[in-house]
Amino acid sequence: MQANDPRTERSDFRKLGRLTRNALRSLVTVGDGVTLEESLAAFLLYLRAERNASPRTVTEYGRDIAGLAEFARERDSPAWLDVRAVDVHLLRAWLGRLSRRHVASSIARKVAAVRTWMRFLRRRGMHATCPADELATPKVRRGLPTLLTVDAAKEVVEAPSLDTAVGVRDRAVLEFLYGSGLRVSELCALDLDAIDFASASARVVGKGQKERIVPLGSKCRHALARWLGVRPTMVHPARQTQDPRALFLTTRGARLYVRAVGKLVHAQGAAGAGRADLHPHALRHTCATHMLEGGADLRAIQELLGHASLSTTQRYAHVSMDHLMRVYDESFPLARSLLSPPGEAVSRSASPSARLRSTAGERSARRGELAAPPRAPQPGTSREAVPCSAPFGAPLGATGDTELVEAPLADAPGGASPDDTGGT
């Protein structure tokens, strides 16, 4: 989901913070009869001051609870005037209406927002219970992430023209997104003093105001140096001013915002690799996957991406089939024996798909030998070659090619067949 323009987010903060301090001071005991709107104001203050939540989280949670308040007002529910009247039936009715217009991931986010809000009310004594604990979170289907091959990623990063200041900026942005695996919000929040060319690193502020250090590759450093050379030309056309702290600027001298980066990646993805579905987070997925294929362990990728949980890194770092085949071939003993048969060694430097194709015939032959063992001759008979020239699929009996048939043994009584001697 794309984030809004910072100006829109500041407007949302002003709308959500219009309640007076007197209304907040009234939130003391259950007997005060706290309204749903007053509880929302206290909840947002709690998110900003105590939880240190990101501005995006505060905005979205505020919208979700404000939507519940509007639903209660439309239904003329007593919860509009007294938050103690909020029960599981009201919450389920609200989610039932939302399910007609929103996907499962959006519903899951709203359930999380309401659950956090209700638990806050219970801790503050504004509600005796937490009805949101009875809500079931919808199952969210996670598809495979959008990924680029190494060649496609190179085409996308090198797509912007270096003849203009905008093209130089776009090249530096793409190098940063792909080379360091940054979130788009982290990229837009970068300041000039966050870049350290001496140590080839950048200081990034991620979710929850957590800082981390990410490395800068040689191409990323060159792209940044080129951008810093043309950055002074990005000024407001009328006022001739620019943001003095922001690393990346718009053509009007303001800090580059999230939606502008999304449009940038979308346009360069279509121009460079023919991928009109490309978005900034796909470059983050691609960075993690290429690092994993290059031999990096998940713990190092977790530190680079700034994930609090390793399970999140496992979801982002999608393993490609070539990497899976390579690890399987190099780790599983039976795979090693099949890939290196006696007398016909297979080069370990070959690609997994090439090695797989080179041994496909042998594996099929081995499976055939196991599935169809040679049939033992009938008692009193022996195997000998006889001519057979019948075409494939025709009845046997013609002469020409060689065919193995069972013939009576020479020492059988009178040269009789097994049927004559009672054999089976």
What span, in angstroms and rounded, lies between the C-alpha atoms of 290 and 319?
9
| Position 348 pLDDT exceeds 80 | no
Which pLDDT does position 225 carry in this prediction? Answer: 94
Catalytic residues: 183, 207, 281, 284, 307, 316
pLDDT, tens only, 120-136 = 999 998 998 999 999 98
Its pTM stands at: 0.62
Greater pLDDT, 286 or 341? 286
164 CB-near residues (< 8 Å, 6+ apart): none
What span, in angstroms and rounded, lies between the C-alpha atoms of 62 and 56?
10
| Position 407 pLDDT exceeds 70 | no
> Across the chain, what does the average pLDDT equal?
77
Greater pLDDT, 360 or 50? 50
Beta bridge partners of 405: 384
Which pLDDT does position 275 carry in this prediction? Answer: 82
> Dihedral of the CA atoms 18, 22, 27, 32 (nearest 10)?
-120
Which pLDDT does position 356 carry in this prediction? Answer: 44
Greater pLDDT, 369 or 42? 42
Which pLDDT does position 308 carry in this prediction? Answer: 82
Contact of 284 with 206, CB cutoff 8 Å: no
pLDDT, tens only, 59-74 = 999 999 999 999 999 9
Nearest alpha-carbon partner for 85 in 68, 62, 63, 61: 68
DSSP letter at 209?
A: G
**Structural domains in the chain plus CATH codes:** 6-134 (1.10.150.130), 150-316 (1.10.443.10), 320-340+347-359 (no CATH), 381-415 (no CATH)
Contact of 171 with 162, CB cutoff 8 Å: yes
Beta bridge partners of 246: 191
What span, in angstroms and rounded, lies between the C-alpha atoms of 259 and 378?
80
Nearest alpha-carbon partner for 165 in 218, 232, 262: 232
* 63: Cα separation from own chain's centroid: 26
